[in-house]
Chain A
Amino acid sequence: MCPECGSADVEWFTASGRATLYSYVINHRPARGFEGDGPYAIAVVQLAEGPRMMTNIVGIPNTPEDLILDMELQVTFEQRGDVSVPLFGPAGAAR
């Protein structure tokens, strides 16, 4: 249901995959399974459709100099274990 108005008139739709970088940290204490990656960004992105979600940023060095808030991003999917997870990279970048 819609948490704003309580309406049950909701539906699934395919989002554009466009987003902007809302905020992040660069994690230096890796979780299990992430040890080999070096420091990595754990980001929250703002989808073009409105909602925010947590993700990782790919296709660009995960440094404060490269990760600029509000930069435009595009979704990509990566298989991690049993699940395919949505990640985000710079919009327009060839991957």
Chain B
Amino acid sequence: MSRAALPSTSTDRGVIIAGAAETNALGKLPGYSTLQLHVEAAVNAVADAGLRMRDIDGVATVNAPGPVQVAHALGITPRYMDGTGVGGTSFLLHVRHAAAAIRAGYASTVLITHGESGRSRVGATPFPRGASSIPGQFEAPYGTAGPTSSFTIPVLRYMKEYGLTHEQLAYVAVAQRKWAARNPRAMFRDPITVDDVLASRLVAWPFHLLECCLVTDGGGALVVTSADRAADFRKPAVHILGTGESMDAPMISQMADFTESKAFRLAGQAAFTEAGITTADVNHLMIYDAFAHVPIYGLEALGFTAKGEAGAFIADGNTEPGGVLPLNTNGGGLSYTHTGMYGMFAIQEGVRQVRGEAAAQVPDVNISVVVGNGGMFATSGVLVLGRQPS
């Protein structure tokens, strides 16, 4: 029997999120360095769990600044470090790896931090775009200008194959703004229409400004520990019922199929199998939305809709307030915040919804699923979070 088939949610093997918090503010924070954002988020998350920094024996974050800088700044000498850096989904992988480490006895209490001065660029690492790098050789010569001009390329093929309309793509932003309007911490809260989206300036046709994520400063952190301690913390435990990770290709041109995310699909299957759930069990969903097409790919890859139907599913109101499948309820990367590696904020909202403390709270969330993206559809992590241990 494979190890994955063991009941991961039994009391002796279960793992929980015991603390979760963001930086005090999000948005434009030129007074904060990247490391300061990590530190503030970490302090807030540890306090949220009712712990002290000396209780932490594992640290995970992306390079840079990496777990050594973060742990040192916090006065922690961890016995477990994870510097996995595979893009904005990395924090979901940190949760997955932390769960494994806790089960293996390598750590008891793991702190996962994110901080990014994405807008102000204080202490931020430049993108590696040397002429000899893979994007330097095969993308930069054609005038790519960051994710807006590469992550976006697959959608036209999807539109031709499946009939997604420009109006349906625009409606993804409209639906998420409805959630953001209920969230005082969201950067953009004013209602918008499809016409507003299509009238916003073109960034990379067919994408308009309002179909592209924000660029902000901010951070978030999580405390992960074993479920046998679930009653010891200030807030309700959020059980990690299933996790998955996968990848597609390192460059958008090599993505296996421009009409579906292989990484989302495989990571989702792994997480759902471990949790023993189907899409019908999911009360709340977060899908990393760097651009308006990504939730469409996510809904289909995880089987929430049939292939080609997610655009209509969103346009019909199913994912907005009052809909059957609340999606990106913080407002998402399109309206809430997007530091560059948004995955941490998607997890934070999943945790808030399971705890029942979200700004735009969905009633009775027993299971929340968080779908992360890294790079340009390059990597994915998926988490199944639950109010109950199984």
Footprint of B on A, CB under 8 Å? 22-31, 33-34, 37, 39-40, 42-44, 52-56, 64, 69-70, 80, 83, 85
Contacts and interface: CB of A to CB of B under 8 A. Distances in A.
B73 interface: no
B328 interface: no
B233 interface: no
Contacts of A29: 145, 148-149, 203-204
Interface stretch (B19-27, B152-160, B277-285): B152-160
6 contacts: A24-B153, A25-B156, A31-B145, A40-B143, A69-B157, A85-B142
A45 to B, nearest CB: 9
B204 A27 contact: yes
A23 B206 CA distance: 11
Contact of B156 (A27, A55, A56, A69): A69
A87 B298 CA distance: 32
B142 A28 contact: no
Interface stretch (B94-102, B251-259, B305-313, B351-359): B251-259
A53 B140 CA distance: 13
Interface in B111-154: 138-145, 148-150, 152-154
Contacts of B141: 80, 83, 85
A31 B139 CA distance: 11
Consensus secondary structure, chain A interface: strand
Contact of A28 (B153, B201, B252): B201
Nearest to A29: B145
A26 B258 contact: no
Tier of interface size on chain B:
20 to 34
A25 to B, nearest CB: 4
B205 A42 contact: no
A23 B143 CA distance: 16
Contact of A39 (B148, B152, B205, B206): B205
A33 B145 CA distance: 11
Contact of A25 (B160, B201, B207, B254): B207
B258 A23 contact: yes
Contacts of B144: 27, 31, 42, 54
A24 B258 CA distance: 11
A39 B139 CA distance: 17
Given A23-B153, A69-B160, A42 B258 contact: no
A30 B143 contact: yes
B143 A42 contact: yes
B53 interface: no
B254 A52 contact: yes
B199 interface: no
Interface string B238-275: 00000000000001111000100000000000000000
B251 A26 contact: no
B145 A30 contact: yes
B324 interface: no
B377 to A, nearest CB: 13
A53 B138 contact: yes
Contact of B206 (A25, A30, A44, A69): A25
Nearest to B251: A54
Nearest to B149: A27
Interface in B168-210: 201-207
B261 to A, nearest CB: 15
A81 B160 CA distance: 35
B155 to A, nearest CB: 8
B143 A34 contact: yes
B203 A22 contact: no
Contacts of A31: 140, 143-145, 149
A27 B251 contact: no
Contacts of B139: 54
Nearest to A68: B160
A54 B138 contact: yes
